[in-house]
Amino acid sequence: MDHSPTLKQTPLHALHLSLGAKMVPFAGYDMPVQYPMGVMKEHLQTRAASGLFDVSHMGQVIVRGTSYEDAARALETLVPVDILGLKPGRQRYGFFTADNGGILDDLMITNRGDHLLVVVNAACKEQDLAHMKAHLAGCEVTLLEDRALLALQGPSAEKLLASLWAGAADMIFMDVRDASILGADCIISRSGYSGEDGFEISVPADKAEEFAKALLAHPECEPIGLGARDSLRLEAGLCLYGNDIDTTTSPVEASLEWAMQKVRRPGGERAGGYPGADRIAEDFATGPVRRRVGLKPEGKAPVRAHAVLYAEDSPESPIGEVTSGTFGPSVEGPVAMGYVPAALAEPGTRVFAEVRGKYLPLTVTALPFITPTYKR
């Protein structure tokens, strides 16, 4: 394994090593892929009790204009999402679109009262920052370099966080609050990437380890690596940038039109005005050529990303490809997502994936594979 000094480290790096984590390079960082418990148990731990994830590799970016409204209007020129209508202390999922209507990155956007907090993916952090600095005229765009980001996920997440900060119990899904916890100024959002109720907590870097240890001191909380993070989000039908969405996929093809509010859609009062708006309007009008769908392989063998999909069990009829695939511990079987022609996107449709020369049957399935437990 390459532990060359070129890999960045999060503020929790020493803690991961002390917990026996297996470290791997991910998005330029040395990150824990699993702990001694193993991916399967870490996954089930998160669904049954709670798990703590280090997501400090993500980019936390402040966007400040002369007012919130200014910053929101500016950001709406880059995302097809209603930022102006976002209430203070609320967060919304969104994405930067490219001129061709594809997706440059997906992100979380929060109204922080007088400014915006935008959380972007680690692999896209530098380009997202440059993109915002180039296009958000009159706004100050600042990457928060000195903060860690922790995700506490699972049914007991509220109880655990409430033991350190009583306000946790009053938050609902996508709420964002400020809190002083263990003497640290934290920004807490009730959200995550697991399909479970939970929180993402932005903490000053020098307080991150103390904070993590306080949560891990609970017998119900275990550290969770990137391996289980991937299987949890896949069961929850959530996209991974670079796999399920990228610059070749439009938001409508990616089945993300729910994230574009009516006011920003064709015919809405602030329709368009962002990169690729014409292409996306066309997808809304005529329906996309292809769709991201859930795929349930028959049998126990997982079908991995990049497996080619076919309409029949022979090489003559390629129709698309699998973009994410693994074994789903909670579903007790393999799960996958991928793109198929719109005509074949109906749940119940049978398709085939080529795996080592064999054509394995899969059923197109509604997403998610599990029932999310967000507190609404």
pLDDT score of 1 more than 60 = no
Per residue in 252-288, pLDDT tens? 999 999 999 999 999 999 999 999 999 999 999 999 9
The rounded percent of the chain whose pLDDT value lies above 70 is 99
Average the pLDDT over 238-263 and give the result: 98
Give the Cβ contact number of residue 99 at 10 Å.
Answer: 12
Asked if residue 2 has pLDDT above 70, the reply is no
pLDDT at residue 126, rounded to an integer: 96
**Residue 5, pLDDT above cutoff 90:** no
pLDDT score at 196: 98
| Rounded-to-integer distance, Cα 136 and Cα 138, Å | 6
6-56 pLDDT, tens digit each: 899 999 999 999 999 999 999 999 999 999 999 999 999 999 999 999 999
Closest CA to 102 of 271, 307, 244, 285: 244
Task: Report the pLDDT value the prediction gives residue 304, as an integer from 0 to 100.
Answer: 97
Mean pLDDT to the nearest integer, 238-258 = 98
- With 80 as the cut, is the pLDDT of residue 136 above it? yes
pLDDT at residue number 270: 98
161-185 pLDDT per residue, tens: 999 999 999 999 999 999 999 999 9
DSSP state at residue 21: P
Flag whether pLDDT at 358 surpasses 90: yes
> What's residue 82's pLDDT?
98
pLDDT at residue 59 in the model: 98
pLDDT of residue 372: 94
pTM for the predicted model, two decimal places: 0.96
Mean pLDDT of the chain: 97
Residue 314 has pLDDT above 70, yes or no: yes
Over range 325-340, report the average pLDDT: 97
What pLDDT score does 4 carry?
A: 53
Tell whether the model's pLDDT for residue 113 goes beyond 70.
yes
23-30 own/partner pairs: CB under 8 Å, 24+ apart: 24/226, 25/1, 26/57, 26/122, 26/226, 27/57, 27/121, 27/122, 27/123, 28/57, 28/122, 28/123, 29/57, 29/122, 30/3
* DSSP letter string, 298-314: SSS----TTPEEESSSS
pLDDT band for position 107 (50/70/90)? very high
Taking Cα atoms as reference points, which of 236, 31, 38 lies closest to residue 154? 236
Q: Which residues of 263-299 are buried (b: 16+ CB within 10 A; e: fewer)?
A: ebbbeeebbeebbbbebbbebbeeebebbbbbbbbee
Strand partners, 335: 326
Residue 299 pLDDT: 87
Compute the average pLDDT of residues 176-199: 98
56-65 mean pLDDT: 98
